[in-house]
Amino acid sequence: MSVTEARREWSQLLALVEAGEAVVITRYGRAVVLLAPPGGAARLPDGARLRAGVPPMREGAGEFIRKLRDDERY
């Protein structure tokens, strides 16, 4: 991506980096910048894979909260 394109599409560029992509910015065809997420940053799993790994609840959310509330109180 050229410097001109990077200026024009800065928001999209940051969105790509936030998603874990590394972007090379060029000037006159030569790479001058590597824009990448910090080394310690981890990519978040996509929602479908995350939901697939979570076991289904045995009771509804309301009942679950009610039990937590009652157990804490007494």
User: pTM for the full model?
Assistant: 0.48
- What would the two tokens of residue 51 be? 């939901």
Question: pLDDT confidence of 1, banded at 50, 70, 90?
Answer: confident
Q: What is the mean pLDDT of residues 13-36?
A: 90
Task: Give the pLDDT score at 24.
Answer: 92
Q: What is the mean pLDDT of residues 56-60?
A: 88
Domain that holds residue 63: 3-73
Question: pLDDT confidence of 32, banded at 50, 70, 90?
Answer: very high
25 in Cβ contact with 14 (< 8 Å): no
Q: Which helix (H) or strand (E) holds 15?
A: helix 10-18
Mean pLDDT score of the chain: 86
Following DSSP, what letter does each residue of 50-73 receive, concatenated? Answer: HHHTSPPPSS-HHHHHHHHHHHHH
Q: What is the mean pLDDT of residues 52-59?
A: 87
Total of domains in the chain: 1
